[in-house]
Amino acid sequence: MKRLSRAHLLWIAVAVVAAAAVLPFWLSAYLLGVLTAAYYFGVFAMAWDLLFGFAGEVNFGPTFLIGVGAYAAGILNSVLHWPMVLCIVAGAVAAVIGGLLMALPALRLRGPYFGVITLVAVLLLQYAIVIFAGITGGEIGMTVPDVLSIDANVNYWYALAFLVVCAVILYTLSRSALGLILQATGQDAIEAQALGFNVTKHKIAAFCVSALFSGVAGAMLVFYMGTASVDTVISIAIDVQVIIAAVLGGRRTILGSILGAVFLILANELLRPIGQLNTFVVAAIALAVILFFPDGLLGHALRAGERE
């Protein structure tokens, strides 16, 4: 991977997607299930990368947006019996509202202060779900009556298609004027403002887009698994994993997040035999990447390509 430039990236991406699409003919249902989860995770991480990598917002609460989308969809389906597609749309709307709520303090606070708020948002959401156990299922979680599909292959293709659509949209956005302005804002908000960009508008847009994708992915994950629980979409453990995935893959690359997510989920599965220590090893690997390749896997490869 020495001479990897952005032009090559497109062809590599097409080849990888094509290869991924035919995987169900070779792999066991179990491995497909693992990859399906990894793909949704990839969307979580990409949405996070847009906020953190580009807009420079220290968002420690990706699972706040994911959780709001997932639980809104889940509750509407299990309590009000709305059809699944409507639930996913409603989940997306709820997540965007959550994103706007998060953007509000982000306009006033910077760096670690905002980071604390987002972490607190996750904790509060978690407590709220436990307190309103009547409709949310509390700590045990809830079951939704509808599922995307009962066929592992179909579920896998749904996830893959969703991932590709999200990746194309988010990558295009990140290479567009919006992405550049966000990057400028993240590095020096005052200068960006002096250049005549409406920083507030772009920041809010970034939060809305990130929330939209997080929410839809969260809602789809719920309908893929048939359940929603704190441990699968909200807990700090999941929260940190989303961040690890994006940082591992490489900040500011969007596509790297997918790499990070697949690597992370596969590593978690492969290391299952060593039991309790598996999270330890995964965290250690991520720490090593941060220390030795701070640009992440894809970021490192891209940078090496540009230098030649």
Partner 1 sequence: MLALQILIDGFAISSLYALAAVGFTLIFGVSGVLNVAHGGIMVVAALVGWFVAGQLGFGTYIGTVAGIFAGLLMAYATYFIVVRPIERSRAIPREETEIFILTGTLLWGIMIEQLMAYTFTDNPVTLRPLIGGVVNIFGVRTPRNEILIAAVSWAVIGLLWLLINRTQRGKALLAAAINPRGLTLLGFELSRIYLLVWTIYGLLAGIAGVLLASFLGVASSNTGPLTASAFAIVVLGGLGSVEGSLVAAYVVGYLETLTAYLVAPTLRPIPPLLLLILVLYFRPQGILGRR
Report the interface residues with partner 1, using CB under 8 A.
58, 105, 108-109, 111-113, 115-117, 119-120, 123-124, 127, 131, 187, 236, 240, 243-244, 247, 276-277, 279-280, 283-284, 286-287, 290-291, 293-295
Pick 78 or 241: Cβ nearer partner 1: 241
* Calpha distance 172→184 (Å, rounded): 17
- For residues 272 and 74, the answer to whether their CB atoms sit within 8 Å is no
Pick 21 or 119: Cβ nearer partner 1: 119
- The torsion defined by the Cα of 212, 123, 204 and 44, in degrees rounded to 10, comes to -40
- For residues 227 and 184, the answer to whether their CB atoms sit within 8 Å is no
Pick 87 or 102: Cβ nearer partner 1: 102
How far apart are CB 43 and partner 1 at their closest, in Å?
A: 20
Give the type of residue at 159.
A
- For residues 152 and 33, the answer to whether their CB atoms sit within 8 Å is yes
How far apart are CB 213 and partner 1 at their closest, in Å?
A: 22
Pick 228 or 239: Cβ nearer partner 1: 239
Pick 83 or 111: Cβ nearer partner 1: 111
* Calpha distance 249→297 (Å, rounded): 5
Pick 207 or 223: Cβ nearer partner 1: 207
How far apart are CB 241 and partner 1 at their closest, in Å?
A: 10
- For residues 126 and 201, the answer to whether their CB atoms sit within 8 Å is no
How far apart are CB 5 and partner 1 at their closest, in Å?
A: 20
Closest CA to 27 of 168, 146, 160: 160
Provide the 10 A C-beta neighbour count for residue 201: 10
How far apart are CB 69 and partner 1 at their closest, in Å?
A: 21
Q: What's the N-to-C CA distance of the chain in angstroms? A: 12
How far apart are CB 282 and partner 1 at their closest, in Å?
A: 9
